[in-house]
């Protein structure tokens, strides 16, 4: 979340110089850890979604650059990594990643931050698109100060198993303006899923900023999103017992069966003093195709 940051950033005339250049990187590198990308037949893979709170140190009051360096090697434990708020220290947070395929965040413009959306993958990426939200709100949070939205990438797990993977960051805040912005953002997301991903298996992950436990309007919007494009929540299916705004939603297709067999918050994302490395928890999911035994 980005809360009331404009007064702090207004005088940072050179903040854009801290931002990563727009990146669309398909990289090949050596991989020292076993990867499920080589599995024949039934497939298992892990996914992490993590809002890393990657704003400048002066804004977060975290040791953000240091934290990004700690986060970086921990990402290698997961086959797919979806980051949000990867705004300022992109080169640091991917510096120790050994994922072969990387999709970096789009560039900001002056005092407007970029998308903050990064995807790391051990699997090849096919068609890629970036969508900026057509509506935003600064009601209770400074959301219009970033080019938030969502990315879509076709992940080619095998020749026959392909899934459209969505990484998104929706508006925060509980004001009527924030609620209206999220409603329009869900409509935009739903439209793309219905057109681009028609008939395909889909995973939608990221910071939805839908506080369904405390905001009735968010609960209605969350339910409408699930129902309208036939998504299931990995947390609910695994009786996770937690209600976070960081979610992993998915659906199967007629040709692709998927099961979210585990959901957990990844506990390693703390420094040596036990302090969390972000203001969000990292959420880790394991997916399996039916028929693959534990």
Residue 146 located in a structural domain: yes
Residue 181 located in a structural domain: yes
Name 191's Cβ contacts closer than 8 Å, sequence gap at least 6: none
How confident is residue 30, by pLDDT bands cut at 50, 70 and 90?
Answer: very low
Q: What is the pLDDT of residues 225-264, one digit of tens each?
A: 999 999 999 999 999 988 899 999 999 999 888 999 999 9
Total of domains in the chain = 1
Reading the block at residue 252, the tokens are: 């199967």
**Domain enclosing residue 209, as ranges:** 6-288
> For position 108, what pLDDT does the model report?
86
Residue 294 located in a structural domain: no
Give the DSSP letter of residue 144: G
Share of the chain above pLDDT 90, in %: 74
Please report, for the domain that includes residue 187, its CATH number.
Answer: 3.60.10.10
How confident is residue 291, by pLDDT bands cut at 50, 70 and 90?
Answer: low
> For position 41, what pLDDT does the model report?
46
Residue with tokens 């990643």: 97
3-state SS record for the chain: CCCCCHHHHCCCCCHHHHCCCCCCECCCCCCCCCCHHHCCCCCEEEEEEEECCCCCHHHHCCCHHHHHHHHHHHHHHCCEEEEECCCCCHHHHCCCCCCCEEECCCCCECCEECCCCEEEECCCEEEEEEEECCCCCCCCCCHHHECCEEEEEEEECCCCCEEEEEEEECCCCCCHHHHHHHHHHHHHHHHHHHHHCCCCEEEEEEECCCCCCCCHHHHHHHHHHHHHHCCEEHHHHCCCCCCCCEEEEEECCCCCCCEEEEEEECCCCECCCCCECCCCCCEEEEEECCCCCC
> For position 28, what pLDDT does the model report?
30
User: Across 16-25, 61-70, 218-227, which has the greatest mean pLDDT?
Assistant: 218-227
Q: What is the pLDDT of residues 37-92, one digit of tens each?
A: 333 345 899 999 999 999 988 888 889 999 999 999 999 999 999 999 999 999 99
CB-CB neighbours of 140 under 10 Å? 16
Closest Cα to residue 126, out of 105, 89, 97, 101?
A: 101
Reading the block at residue 21, the tokens are: 């250049």
Q: Quick check: 52 and 88 in contact, CB under 8 A?
A: no
pLDDT of residue 35 exceeding 60, the answer is no
> For position 20, what pLDDT does the model report?
37
Reading the block at residue 234, the tokens are: 């990995």
> Phi/psi of residue 80, each to 5°?
-125, 130
Residue with tokens 């009527």: 176
> Phi/psi of residue 110, each to 5°?
65, -120
> For position 142, what pLDDT does the model report?
87
How far is Cα 73 from Cα 103, in angstroms, rounded to an integer? 17
With residue 179 as reference, give the H or E element that holds it. Answer: helix 176-196
Residue 1 located in a structural domain: no
């Amino acid at each position: 979340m980005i809360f009331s940051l404009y007064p702090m950033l207004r005088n940072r005339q050179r903040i854009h110089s801290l931002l990563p250049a727009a990146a669309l990187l398909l990289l090949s590198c050596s991989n020292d850890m076993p990867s499920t990308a080589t599995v024949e037949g039934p497939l298992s893979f892990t996914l992490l979604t993590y809002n890393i709170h990657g704003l400048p140190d002066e804004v977060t009051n975290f040791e953000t650059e240091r934290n990004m360096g700690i986060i970086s090697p921990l990402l290698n434990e997961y086959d797919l990594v979806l980051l949000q708020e990867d705004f300022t220290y992109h080169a640091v947070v991917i510096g120790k990643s050994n994922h072969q395929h990387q999709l970096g965040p789009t560039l900001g413009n002056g005092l407007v931050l970029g998308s903050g959306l990064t995807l790391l993958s051990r699997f090849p990426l096919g068609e890629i698109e970036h969508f900026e939200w057509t509506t935003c709100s600064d009601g209770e949070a400074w959301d219009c100060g970033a080019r938030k939205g969502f990315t879509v990438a076709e992940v080619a797990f095998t020749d026959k198993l392909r899934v459209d993977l969505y990484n998104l960051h929706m508006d925060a805040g509980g004001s009527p303006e924030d609620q209206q912005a999220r409603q329009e953002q869900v409509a935009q997301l739903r439209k793309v899923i219905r057109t681009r991903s028609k008939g395909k298996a889909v995973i939608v992950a990221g910071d939805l900023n839908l506080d369904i436990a405390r905001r009735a309007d968010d609960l209605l919007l969350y339910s409408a999103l699930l129902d309208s494009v036939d998504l299931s929540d990995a947390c609910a299916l695994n009786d996770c017992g937690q209600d976070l705004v960081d979610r992993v939603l998915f659906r199967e297709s007629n040709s692709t069966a998927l099961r979210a067999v585990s959901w957990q918050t990844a506990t390693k994302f703390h420094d040596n003093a036990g302090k969390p490395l972000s203001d969000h928890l990292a959420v880790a999911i394991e997916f399996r195709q039916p028929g693959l035994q534990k």
